[in-house]
Structure 1
Amino acid sequence: MRMKRIAMTTSSFAVASLLLAGCSASTGAASSGDLSKDIAAVTAEQLDGTTIQMSRMFGDCEETTDGVTDTSKATSECEAITILTNKFNAENEFGITVERLGGSEWASYYDAFNASLAGGDPADIANLHAHALPDYAARNSVIPIDTESLGIDLSDASDAARGGVEWNGETRAIPFDLHAILAHVNVDLFTQAGLVNADGTPKLPTSAEEFLADAKIVKEKTGKFFISIAYANDPMGFRLFSMLVNQQGGELISEDGKTVNIDTPEAKNALEFINTLVDEGYADRTVDYAGSTAQFLAGDAAMLMNGTWAVNEYANTAPFTYQVADFPTLYEEPATWAASHTWVIPRQKDGNVVQYRAALEFAKYLYNNTDTWSIATGHMSPRVSVLESDAYLNAVQRSNYVETALHNARQVPHIENWQPAEDAILEQISSTWLNDKDIDAALTEAQARVEQALAK
């Protein structure tokens, strides 16, 4: 999966917000004053034979998954979620059947999901990224979830995963994974540059100064870029900027969304570092996501900044010695940009508690099987017990980035209107490396635009 920004411009996001507000106003009431108790009280007999609809991203793969229930056959996101669904349909004790309701590609997913909410007939269970959840929870478009009464053990969830499903003290989603930025390394180029440990593993830099020094060595000894980053038409530059600020102890936006901290010394340090990579020829400012991937796989960059979703693919296809690692900590604090896929239960007009309960049984099943998902996809399980299991740690390259999963992953602030804020930041900071805009001017304008976006 290519994790790019949610396909929603600021203007279309505003339209979607209006639609969601209308939807939340028309949702039906529960059968009593306590929806969670009504859901928990649903019996096995009531669930028997229930059919629910699922809206998800992750693509289409019917030709390789039709009738398949063996989860060990899953080799991609699409195959993993489809086979898990097949297996649930075949084996769940309640006779629940899950049917797919659209949502093949992430790029168009949110437009379709918003339309279903506005039309009053959303799927019974749906995907959301954690950073999108606050916009739906604030409009009451997804129901709160009493995980304890349903036997969903969120005490096993990592801090980053747990934080991504909460809203105003309530659980509004079930985590499915964490995905984060990693350092994908061409070990052959590191070896050629002499940047390896005694055991031949790549020696990654531990400070911004060391990073630039190593980049110079790679350029001089190999003639290659030190790192490939999707600088053009992609949010990867924002992700690097964000985590470098976090590594200095900074936050671009406070956790409550009330304070914007973009025009700061930490942000200036981060942006100057990013531009130095371009100015010194250590990275190529012209490549987009596909171009940076192609550059790395062609052996033209010693390192690639990309996510967990690419680990399995590169391990199987890279024509050189490949290794993945936690992205280097260049300042005081380990911190890596991260996001999360979650499952939510959209509020229905008829408030059918049997449908709600059936959807939550499926969400519980998916949470309990994040080991299958994480091993098949490269994403990190949200469950600590899985991350520390032998099966997970022995899977391809997983032990190389378990620190990211357990400690370094840093999700963006869990606030409403996050996407317009990110877009405004990216527009300004990217103008410094793409159009040579003054760094101070870019940060000042980003500060003002984000304050404006969050005030809406």
Structure 2
Amino acid sequence: MKTLMKLAMVTTALMTISSVVQAKETVVWWDFLGGGDGVRMKALIDEFNKENGDNIEIQATTLEWGTPFYTKAQTSAAVGEGPDVMTYHISRLPLGVSTNTLSEITADDLASVGLKAEDYAPANWQAAQVDGKQYAIPFDIHSIILYYNKDKLKAAGLLGDDGLPKGLDGVDNFKAALQKLKDGGSQYGVSIHSAAGDSQWRIFYSLLNQQDGKFFADGKFLDGDNLDKAVKATQVVADWVKEGLAPSNTEYPASIALFTSGEAAMHINGVWEVPTFTDLAAKGQLGFEWGAVALPTFFDHPATWADSHSFVIPNNVGKDMTPEKRKAVMEVIAWMNKHSLAWAGAGHIPAYGPVRDSAEFKALQPNATYSVLADTAAFDPVSTLAGVASPVYDAAGNYMVPAINGEMDPQQAIEDLRDDLQAQVE
């Protein structure tokens, strides 16, 4: 009898242990984050596992950024071999939805972890939807900003008492400021990455949206007067280059070096370079005091190109996710959003409002200064041809880059760009 009782107790204990083991969910994670972004994300994953490892453990893999990542995401989901959660550029959602790569995130999913639309900037939340359905949870907003050398702007009378640039709004005013900076001894008023389509797209799309231009609508690229607005946006940058106010055919590292060396008084680039300048300044290797602000308003109102790193749940065909697993995935997404202050150190603006509105973020400079971009962000057109590493970016390289570098007439370049992309729709 005692033997039977011992056996029963052992069996019960084993069943209890088995139950505990089964209660722990492993969340398979894919991202495309390298460099400083990758370091920060790995630290967040380690912190999550440290806090939640008894119940949920993230098993993370980093894959190659760009087209290779999105191709692998699509093919793996199609055969049920994708991860449980992955990072995704919001600009690529239309393609992901069209290929059945992504699972809809429902109202019940959001409610299960206390996330709601009101916690995000309206444009950011809408950009995470396709046809009114939610397919992503934004993690950040990353945009282009204007970096500036405070010493050079002060000497040119372009720095206010608050340490922020002044007199830069308006196409003519900005151009005059560039000339004043050049006349004051700078080789260039502003350095730009003028040799590649991705950087030029970001500037172009900002200037187009400041005119309320529509790049793609109702199945048509640059229809009606949108073409004229696109030409005008392209001409602005072409004039900078033509008049020697910005460098021509300059690669990415060289565009940064022109600013860090003091040869360019300002620099237009993504928020992701904030850590570069922060680190150089901390090491005493910059040689001047720098700052960063939202892109000036060249036309009718503020608007700046933006994208978001976001979280999505792959639609793994033939592999249903258990309710427990889905809840664990949502817990991971919610935790990352609520701890995104650490991610802001990479220059990004937290998408999650409570973090963006926190005293800790408002003390983070220059991020807090340019965080107004959350309310003026212009996300990429909703099209399967748009977004990171897309045909639109390719077209920007093929047509906009020659146009701004004086190798092609802006009017002809934008017409050719429109025709090229429209042919891919039809």
What's the offset of the Cα at 1:133? 1.2
1:454 maps to 425
Q: Report whether the alignment pairs 1:137 with 2:97.
A: yes
Residues 162-201 of structure 1 mapped to structure 2, 5 A cutoff: 162-201=125-164
Matched, 1:339 2:339: no
Give the stretch that moved more between structures: 154-163 or 418-427.
Answer: 418-427
Match of 1:402 among 371, 374, 378: 371
Aligned 1:1-400 pairs, distance under 5 A: 48-59=23-34, 76-92=36-52, 95-103=55-63, 105-106=65-66, 108-146=68-106, 147-254=110-217, 257-261=219-223, 264-317=227-280, 318-348=286-316, 349-353=318-322, 354-374=324-344, 376-400=345-369
Aligned partner of residue 264 in structure 1, secondary structure: helix
Distance change >3 Å, CA 278–CA 208, structure 1 → 2: same
- The answer to whether structure 1 residue 441 and structure 2 residue 412 are counterparts is yes
Matched-pair contact (CA < 8 Å) for 2:125–2:138: yes
The one-letter code sitting in structure 2 at the alignment partner of 1:135 is: L
CA change 1:58–1:246 in 2 (3 A) is: same
1:141-169 CA distance string (max 9 Å, x none): 21111223442223211112202211112
| Candidates 375, 389, 403, aligned match of 1:432 | 403
Q: Deviations over 1:35-89 (max 9, x none)?
A: xxxxxxxxx97972221211002127xxxxxxxxxxxxxxx42232112211222
Structure 1 window deviating more from structure 2 (337-346 vs 365-374): it is: 365-374
| 8 Å Cα contact 2:242-2:405 kept in structure 1 | no
With structure 1 as the length reference, what TM-score do the two structures score? 0.81
SS in 1 for 2:184: helix
**Alpha-carbon spacing, 1:286–1:235, altered in 2? closer, same or farther (3 Å):** same
Specify the code of the residue in structure 2 equivalent to 1:59: G
User: Do 1:47 and 1:96's aligned partners in 2 also have CA atoms closer than 8 Å?
Assistant: no
Structure 2 CA distance for aligned equivalents of residues 440 and 201 of structure 1: 35
- The Cα shift of 1:90 comes to 2.1
Give distance in 1, aligned partners of 2:277 and 2:116.
Answer: 33
Aligned-pair CA distance for 1:329: 0.5
**Whole-Å Cα distance in 1 between the matches of residues 210 and 226 of structure 2?**
16
Letter in 1 for 2:26: T
Q: 1:415 offset after TM fit, Å?
A: 2.2
Note the C-alpha offset of 1:411: 0.6
Q: Which runs of 4+ in 1 moved over 4 A?
A: 44-47, 104-108, 256-259
For 1:285 and 1:160, the matched residues in 2 are separated by: 34
> Distance between the aligned counterparts of 2:90 and 2:97, measured in 1?
11
Percent identity, aligned pairs only?
A: 26
Q: Deviations over 1:96-143 (max 9, x none)?
A: 111113315457433443443355311111111001111111232211
Q: Which moved more, 1:45-54 or 1:121-130?
A: 45-54
In structure 1, what is the Cα distance between the partners aligned to 2:45 and 2:60? Answer: 9
Sort the Cα spacing of 1:257 and 1:341 in 2 relative to 1 into closer, same or farther, 3 A: farther
For 2:64 and 2:201, how far apart are their aligned partners in 1?
A: 26
CA contact (8 A) 1:53 1:98 kept: yes
Q: Indicate conservation of the 8 Å contact 2:190/2:268, yes or no.
A: yes
How far, CA to CA, are the matches of 1:257 and 1:126 in structure 2?
29
Shift of 1:398: 2.2
CA change 1:234–1:449 in 2 (3 A) is: closer
Change (3 A) 1:174 1:198: closer
Mapped contact 1:275–1:433 kept (Cα < 8 A): yes
Output the CA distance in 1 between the equivalents of 2:274 and 2:53.
35
After TM superposition, give the deviation of residue 217 of structure 1 in Å.
Answer: 1.0
Say which one has the larger Rg: 2
Q: What do residues 268-287 of structure 1 show as CA deviations (whole Å, max 9, x unaligned)?
A: 21111111101100000121
Unaligned runs of 5+ in 1: 1-43, 61-75
Gaps of 5+ in 2: 1-18, 281-285
Cα pair distance change 1:369/1:397, threshold 3 Å: same
Q: 1:34 maps to what in 2?
A: none
3-state SS of paired residue (2:183) = helix
What is the aligned partner in structure 2 of residue 33 from structure 1? none
- Tell me how far apart the structure 1 counterparts of residues 148 and 371 of structure 2 sit (CA, whole Å): 16
Hey, what's the Cα distance between the residues in 2 that align with 1:278 and 1:272? 10
Aligned equivalents of 1:308, 1:200: Cα separation in 2: 19
Contact 1:184-1:324 at 8 Å conserved across structures = yes
| CA separation of 1:396 and 1:453: change in aligned 2, threshold 3 A | same
Q: Judge conservation of contact 2:74–2:99 (CA < 8 Å) in 1.
A: no
Q: Distance in 1 between matches of 2:167 and 2:69?
A: 37
Q: Which amino acid is 1:334 matched to? A: P
Deviations 1:387-419 (A, max 9, x none): 2221101012123112112x2211112222212
CA contact (8 A) 2:94 2:382 kept: yes
Distance in 1, matches of 2:337 and 2:98, equals 24
Q: CA deviation at 1:258?
A: 4.2
Alpha carbon RMSD of aligned pairs, Å? Answer: 2.2
Q: CA deviation at 1:358?
A: 2.3
One-letter code of the match for 1:367? N
Conserved? CA contact 2:187–2:264, under 8 Å: yes
TM-aligned CA deviation for residue 178 of structure 1:
0.5
1:222-243, Cα deviation, whole Å (9 max, x unpaired): 1420111101034111111111
